[in-house]
Amino acid sequence: MSALVDEQRLEKPPAGDYKLPRIKPHATSEIIPWLRTPKTIWCPGCSNGTITRALIDAILGLKLDPEKVVVVAGIGCSGRIAQYLEYSTVHTAHGRALAVATGIKVADPSLEVIVAMGDGDCSAIGGNHFIHAARRNIDVTALIFNNSIYGMTGGQMSPTTHTGDRSTTSARGNVEAAFDLCELAHAAGATYVARGTAWAYRQLVDVIAGGVAHKGFAAVEAMTACPVYYGRFNLTADPAEFLKGQKQHAVPADTFVEGESRQREHYPVGLLHHSERAEFVTSLARVREQAREEAQHG
């Protein structure tokens, strides 16, 4: 093995023929007990509510012990999910959710830690935490609400705003290139990478469930509709039209042709990457074991 190849980074395909979990959506009456409030601050037409429901559906579908579910969120529109969910929840600071989640998961590995972040949270102010959580392959799930813009502060460009797009801080069109968050996660070492849309609800539930069930760092990008800011400035202010746009532009991962179809709004959806390698919390436990053996045998 080349000295340049880090053994920890060597991946292998998952054992057997891996298939995403198939979750049967739950009735609204089953979803509601997991919401603390019927009121949100999200705008009419926003897809964050859809993603919130998909997350609850996935948690119910996987039959997780609700007492052990911890949702950690950042700041922004998506961050508010923490105060709406009836699980143990932590609403942290902007960009810091993954770093807080790292401490939580290491301190108590029995917890199922799910991190909700916006695209700015994840890849701008929290970009460093994102790539390092992926590199460590820590067993948490990052659920990224990507609306391609900073919604809470009123529509400024984010690292996922495409070149040429307008926002309140790129009135003449964005001159920067956008991050592809899934490519970023994969390159940084995430062992589960998937993308879903608010349009395709059942697929969204399944890719979230797959991420939560995965042992290792899972990045799940949920494309959300933001008709009020991103849509109004760039596509359409009509929520239904916005979602129809997602239907047109989202291409199933197995039929997606790299290069040809990757344009402004064309992106692959579904499971994009899945592998196995050493998980961080497990490795730390091994170090503890080793230290104890050394102490016993001098």
Residue numbers at the binding site for other proteins (CB under 8 A): 36, 67-68, 70, 72, 82-83, 86-93, 96, 99-108, 110-111, 128-129, 132, 284, 287-288, 290-292, 295
Q: Cβ of residue 52: shortest distance to other proteins, in angstroms? A: 15
Q: Cβ of residue 188: shortest distance to other proteins, in angstroms? A: 11
Among residues 272, 249, 273, 246, which one has the least CA distance to residue 261? 249
Bridge partner residues of 117 (DSSP): 144
Q: Which is nearer to other proteins, 88 or 156 (CB)?
A: 88
Phi, psi of 63, deg, nearest 5: 55, 45
Q: Which is nearer to other proteins, 72 or 208 (CB)?
A: 72
Q: Cβ of residue 14: shortest distance to other proteins, in angstroms? A: 26
Alpha-carbon gap, residue 214 to 271, rounded angstroms = 12
Q: Cβ of residue 92: shortest distance to other proteins, in angstroms? A: 7
Q: Which is nearer to other proteins, 81 or 235 (CB)?
A: 81
Q: Which is nearer to other proteins, 261 or 290 (CB)?
A: 290
Query: Which tokens belong to 111?
Result: 């917890």
Cα→Cα distances 231→45, 123, 160, 175, 237, Å: 10, 21, 14, 19, 5
127-136 and 181-188 are packed helices; what angle lies between their axes, rounded to 10 degrees? 50
Alpha-carbon gap, residue 203 to 279, rounded angstroms = 26
Q: Which is nearer to other proteins, 134 or 194 (CB)?
A: 134
Q: Cβ of residue 241: shortest distance to other proteins, in angstroms? A: 33
Q: Cβ of residue 110: shortest distance to other proteins, in angstroms? A: 7
Q: Cβ of residue 71: shortest distance to other proteins, in angstroms? A: 10
Q: Which is nearer to other proteins, 172 or 288 (CB)?
A: 288
Q: Which is nearer to other proteins, 33 or 173 (CB)?
A: 33
Q: Which is nearer to other proteins, 72 or 226 (CB)?
A: 72
Q: Cβ of residue 292: shortest distance to other proteins, in angstroms? A: 7
Query: Which tokens belong to 84?
Result: 């709406």
